[in-house]
Amino acid sequence: MKKHTLSVDFHWEKWSAEEADLKGLGKKTAARLLFEIDLIHHFEQELLRLKNADAVWGPVHSSVGQEAVAAASIGPLKKSDKVLGSHRAHHQFLSKALNYVLGDWDPGTQEWPGEAQEVVNRTFAEILGLAPGYCGGRGGSMHLRWKEAGFLGSNAIVGGGIPLAVGAAYAEQKLKSGNVVVCYFGDGAANQGAFHEALNLAGIWKLPIIFFVENNEFAVGTRNDDACAVKDISQRAASYGMDGYIVDGQDTPGIYRLMEKVSGEIRKGGRPAIVEAKCWRHYHHAGDVPGSSYGYRDKEEEARRLALDPRTRFPESLLEQKLLTKKEISAIEAAAKKAVETALDFCVEGEDKTIIKESLWPDPATAGEGMRSDGSELEGLPYIDDTYSGPKKKARYSESIALVTGRWMEKDSTVYEFGEEIANFGGGAYGATKGLPDRFPEQVVNTPISEAGFTGLACGAAMTGLKTIIEIMFPDFALVAGDQLFNQIAKARHMYGGKTDLPLVARARIATGVGYGGQHSMDPVALFALFSGWRIVAPGNAFDYIGLFNTAMHSNDPVIFLEHHSLYTKSFEIPENDLDYCIPFGKAKIIKPGDDITVLVYGVMGERCRKIAEKLSGQGVSAEIIDLRSLDLPSIDYDTIGRSLQKTGVMAIVEEAAGAQTIGPRIAEQVMVRFFDYLDAPVGCISSLNVPNSVSRRLEAAAIISDDEIEEKLTAMAKRAWR
């Protein structure tokens, strides 16, 4: 038996500053770093004081003990570089924002600028939930964002922002900006699946990103040794084709020099990297109580770590090297403290400065605003009527998906589509990208089987200048990417103050009725409808698909397209020479007029119910079939529904989805509230059995609502015999 020792292509270093590194900072940089460290420290201490006075609503995850990590790691970055943070990100936000507005400001020789004071004021206001905050108070402590400064967002979901950071880096690479993205997170996040999926994508595409781990040794109270199979998280860089680095989180010049080096190499085309700063969180997970009070640390350990704190260690070293005098150090701390006190005065009042100024609270009337764009980007689009009478040609549904996607890639180089196998087989697994991989090899991107990873990537890229499309091969896989789809994409605009555009289209192919079983055949309409940040469309033919897709691509909101597999091979008429027309969101279409019963449908059920309605006509029942097309609840076309009910007096909502996965009951509730006087009977909801689909041909057929069942129920309703 022969054996061969294998080696790993892995560059791994541990850095620590020497005397020359400290001197090499120079007086101005050293003073700036010390100023930021002091400002962040006093900022956090005041927040904790306000939290204890119940002036801060929600948790305060302070960075006390980790101030220098942010100041020293962000200091070497360019103003245009991008940063994303975790739930513990006050220090990162302040450092990035201040570096953006201060430029080459020297705290030793120059006055504190008003725009820098505004940064501290507005950051305080945001964390206190006040209107002057960067997100209007909606984001608070854990959801900070200032796009203009390059701080793309902090994130309350542990590890949730890592795929977004990879997406931002992807956008920066494709836009050839020369910028680097730095993604900050803690040791706990390195055990999330999103971490591994995202790092793999960054490694595959050699993205310009630094994954910066603030390893403070504890998640909440669980020590990293008990949660991670390797001693050093940076060792995981070996698995993803990256470089790895370790630095002491109390070593301010060491962090600065390391980030200078790593960011510089990445700008020259080097590999992405993991930088692991071994640091220390002075307090418990949240609040100002030490961890020893909870029993997972001891007081001796805390005292030993406190003695190494960079707020003590760094100024002492500056004195030793005669970079700053005691007087200068005291003046810097006094200036930093004054900036925090000024921000405090901006937000609170009272003798003990714990009462929020009433004038700063957001207007409660705005609580529901900003879930989606104001729609101004959709004004003036080339909308056409459903009765289009120009030259037409036949096209299959799947062919039309490829045609309109290709049209967008042709006219807009920032359009990228991501998904599993979409660049293979000449057009993806089901033909929806037919011909596109050859025409647009850079824009049609195969991904690993990493739904959370590439979904989050598409979100981050859409927030950073690209228009992104993702193919979720089967809707059930949306559950794998649930955090990215629903905690991130669906909430980002509102959470970050209503100002975050997300030009993203998701596509999902519903595979009901072909034996794929319970984990490949769900209808996700009700799932997406739970999150009103999503627009939902279900085109029942190729004509509608093209028009709605164009509107979606013009939109600044995320849109999910529900595509039924049985439509893929069917041919429909589309305009012969126009792939740019639009169909407005929220506009239903009457497929067949009628007088006896209103029937609401979407997707594949449109044609099924039209044929059933033709049969009912022979029995003296006149059914009006309305294809909703737009299915997110704010976009339901109640005007068209109301006009129909004035004629018919009775309504049914017919869906192929399993009972609990339908939106019918929610629409029915609104219909009965809005049009109670028009109704002769309660609204009927018709759907498939409330079970996952079986692989067995007979069992699946028994579970899916049949045409005969629909016909029977509609007949009974039309005759007011509904039970």
Q: Rg for the chain (alpha carbons), in Å?
A: 29
Contact (CB, 8 A) for 318 and 324: yes
Distance CA 429, CA 187 (A): 38
Q: Is 652 helix (H, G, I), strand (E, B) or coil?
A: strand
Distance CA 58, CA 516 (A): 45
User: Would you tell me how many other CB atoms lie within 10 Å of the CB of residue 48?
Assistant: 19
Specify the DSSP class assigned to residue 138.
S
**What residues pair up with 504 in beta bridges, in sequence order?**
468
512-518-521 Cα angle (round to 5): 25
Structure tokens at 668: 């029915």
Q: What interhelical angle do 19-52 and 252-267 show, nearest 10?
A: 110
| Active-site pick, 42, 143, 284, 520 | 520
Helices (H), 158-231: 162-174, 193-205
Distance CA 157, CA 403 (A): 38
Task: State how beta strands 535-537 and 559-564 pair.
Answer: parallel
Structure tokens at 441: 């090899």
Closest CA to 360 of 141, 60, 55, 45: 55
Residues 6+ apart with CB under 8 A from 616: 622, 623, 711, 714, 715, 718
Q: Is 520 helix (H, G, I), strand (E, B) or coil?
A: coil
Contact (CB, 8 A) for 472 and 528: no
Distance CA 350, CA 42 (A): 20
Contact (CB, 8 A) for 416 and 461: yes
Structure tokens at 611: 């044929």
Structure tokens at 557: 């909101």
Distance CA 630, CA 585 (A): 6
Structure tokens at 714: 């509609």
Distance CA 267, CA 176 (A): 11
Helices (H), 423-541: 436-439, 451-462, 482, 492-495, 525-529
Residue 5's alpha-carbon distances to 235, 240, 422, 705, in angstroms, are: 19, 20, 38, 60
Contact (CB, 8 A) for 458 and 427: no
Contact (CB, 8 A) for 100 and 332: no
Distance CA 83, CA 146 (A): 10
| Active-site pick, 451, 471, 656, 700 | 451
**What residues pair up with 507 in beta bridges, in sequence order?**
471, 561
Q: Is 115 one of the catalytic residues?
A: no
Q: Is 451 one of the catalytic residues?
A: yes
Q: Which run of H or of E encompasses 26?
A: helix 19-52
* Residues designated catalytic: 451, 520
